[in-house]
Amino acid sequence: MVTVPARENGRVWVLCHRLIARLSEVSPAITAAIRVAEPSYLVTPEAEHNTDVYEHLLRLLRSLADERDSDAGDVDRAVAAGRQRAAQGIPVQAMIGAWQIANREIWELLRSEAGTERGVLADIGARIFTIMHLISTTAAEAHGEVSRTLHADQITLSHRFVAMLRAAEIDDETRQIAASIGFDPDGWFIALSSHLSERDDPSLSSVREGLGAGIGTAVAVVNSRTLVVVAQSPRPDELVDAVARLRPDAPLAVGHRRAGLVGAMRSIHDAHCVLSTLDGAAPPVVRRFEETWLQATLVTSQDDLEILVRDRLETVRANRHLAEAVVAFAENDLSATSAARAMRLHANTTAYRLNRWQELTGWNPKTFSGLATSLLACWLAAKPDAEETEHRAS
């Protein structure tokens, strides 16, 4: 005759085993509730996720039935779960939240099964808390270890990826790194750039965390006191807005959205060109390549083009009010009247300044060639020198 342990005749054992018998029926609904409340779990195939939930609840109910705390197998399983969720990119808060949902649902089912025998629930509740405190703490520690390793690897890969794009090294390695980061190498890329000051956090933790807020795949690196973000997003405008919110004290340059890794390389160059036009700009400013490509292209070709205007740059700097009139004229449909309105001046005053500009520089802003040369001179004259830029950043 087989001797049945006393606890197998107990109310807790009977209650838990009644629920174990129904577990295959109820666990899919619990899995579905988790996937609704914690969308990051959608990266896990539903069948696999349901198996994990089933096994978790089965071990929990068996521990409750046997009136014991977690054993070594439970701890090993918690470590494995924490590592797996970290590798899948599921945040630790979501992992803990998922277990809380599962435990809440199983508690409600236990209450329902208990019926009028509510006296057994107090001990069960206390034991669930004890078991889950150990399990969740163990899993969170394992998750943290893997996350830190993955984070360090991700940062290294991100720096390598951006460095290869900036160096125009587009090869199989670049594609592999892009894919390992989570990019589609043939997809659409957009790059953003911003100067860093001495006050900025060099780890960029707030920026990196902010970019992980469900608006696509993005990497952020720092190169020579310049932040470079490369991203893929189905909603690029939202991405730009998010980065601008994360860096409210710094002007932001936005490259054109382009396809493929060559496109990513060119978008970084776009952003770099636009950034050169933002020296001295007061934040908040978001400037896009498609809106300012002419200025961005001319200013970044300074070494080649400055010779065309060099002998008159001091004249331009000494007559900034005339330069402002020229820029306003260009930005207001080549209309002196509209330019005057934009500068809140009388139309005759603006006309005088345009004529005076031609007298002093020899460039007629009412011709294409004269206006293009005038704008080049205005933009180069407005750029602060390296010493002034460094002083402002500090």
Looking up tokens 């992992």 gives 95
Extract the tokens encoding 30.
Answer: 């619990």
Are 274 and 309 in a shared domain? no
Tell me which residue range forms the domain holding 222.
172-300
- The verdict on residue 326 lying in a domain is yes
| Number of domains comprising the chain | 3
- The verdict on residue 152 lying in a domain is no
Are 282 and 306 in a shared domain? no
Are 258 and 317 in a shared domain? no
Are 284 and 316 in a shared domain? no
User: In CATH, what number is assigned to the domain containing residue 86?
Assistant: 1.10.490
Are 126 and 201 in a shared domain? no
Are 291 and 336 in a shared domain? no
- The verdict on residue 161 lying in a domain is no
Extract the tokens encoding 208.
Answer: 């990196």
- The verdict on residue 26 lying in a domain is yes
Segment 17-46, tens digit of pLDDT: 999 999 999 999 999 999 999 988 988 889
Amino acid identity at 81: A
Are 233 and 199 in a shared domain? yes
Angle at the Cα of 180 from the Cα atoms of 179 and 185, rounded to 5 degrees: 15
Domain limit, last residue, from 142, 163, 197: 142
Domain limit, last residue, from 267, 283, 300: 300
8 A C-beta contact, residue 287 and residue 271: no
Residue 278 confidence (pLDDT) above 90: no
- 3-state SS, residue 62: helix
Are 270 and 367 in a shared domain? no
Segment 314-365, tens digit of pLDDT: 999 999 999 999 999 999 999 999 999 999 999 999 999 999 999 999 999 9
Who wins on pLDDT, 155 or 252? 252
Segment 128-153, tens digit of pLDDT: 888 988 999 999 999 888 877 767 77
Domain limit, last residue, from 300, 333, 353: 300
- The verdict on residue 155 lying in a domain is no
Calculate mean pLDDT across residues 43-70: 90
- The verdict on residue 1 lying in a domain is no
Are 293 and 211 in a shared domain? yes
d(CA 277, CA 291): 12
Nearest alpha carbon to residue 374 among 293, 315, 289, 332:
315
Segment 361-393, tens digit of pLDDT: 999 999 999 999 999 999 899 876 543 444 444
Are 267 and 247 in a shared domain? yes
Where are any strands of DSSP class E within 196-238?
A: 217-223, 226-232
Are 232 and 309 in a shared domain? no
Segment 86-122, tens digit of pLDDT: 878 788 999 999 999 999 998 999 888 887 776 778 7
- The verdict on residue 163 lying in a domain is no
Question: Residues 69-73: contacts with CB within 8 Å, 24+ apart?
Answer: 69/127, 69/130, 69/131, 69/134, 70/131, 70/134, 70/135
Q: Is the pTM of this model over 0.75?
A: no
Are 311 and 296 in a shared domain? no
- The verdict on residue 156 lying in a domain is no
User: In CATH, what number is assigned to the domain containing residue 295?
Assistant: 3.30.70
